[in-house]
Amino acid sequence: EDQVTQSPEALRLQEGESSSLNCSYTVSGLRGLFWYRQDPGKGPEFLFTLYSAGEEKEKERLKATLTKKESFLHITAPKPEDSATYLCAAEGAQKLVFGQGTRLTINP
């Protein structure tokens, strides 16, 4: 059975303190690894898609990387507006499987 596990469940950082969020996946025939951001009371907002191990994508202070077993979302010098829940999802032969998310809080 396809599985996606995110860690940590919650992370508090000071503004400017860089860190990484982890997404471990077990998916048969990975077709894509997706990262979304979700703000309270809103639907998930698409950030990145990664297709193969070694691939990296960047957007502002975020960089997503992919290995054969994990994906990392690196956040560099975060700001309070980066506070949100970050969701990872893996697409195999069947439907997209989501992790439980990491709730990120950036304190000013």
Partner 1 sequence: GAGVSQSPSNKVTEKGKDVELRCDPISGHTALYWYRQSLGQGLEFLIYFQGNSAPDKSGLPSDRFSAERTGGSVSTLTIQRTQQEDSAVYLCASSQETQYFGPGTRLLVL
User: Two tokens at 12?
Assistant: 């508090």
- The per-residue DSSP string of 9-42 comes to SEEEEETT--EEEEEEEE-TT--EEEEEEE-TTS
* 11 part of the interface to partner 1, by CB under 8 A: no
Query: Does 57 engage in binding with partner 1 (CB under 8 A)?
Result: no
Q: Is 67 in the site for partner 1 (CB under 8 A)?
A: no
The candidate with the shortest Cα–Cα distance to 106, out of 42, 36, 8, 17, is 17
Structure tokens at 75: 């956040």
Which stretch in 12-20, 57-65, 73-81, 94-102 sits in contact with partner 1 by CB under 8 A? Answer: 94-102
Does 72 participate in binding partner 1 (rule CB under 8 A)? no
**Segment interacting with partner 1, rule: CB under 8 A, options 11-19, 55-63, 66-74, 96-104:** 96-104
Q: Does 46 interact with partner 1 (rule: CB under 8 A)?
A: yes
Smallest distance from the beta carbon of 16 to partner 1, in angstroms? 28
- The C-alpha atoms of residue 80 and residue 77 are separated, in whole angstroms, by 10
- Comparing CB distances to partner 1, the nearer of 4 and 106 is 4
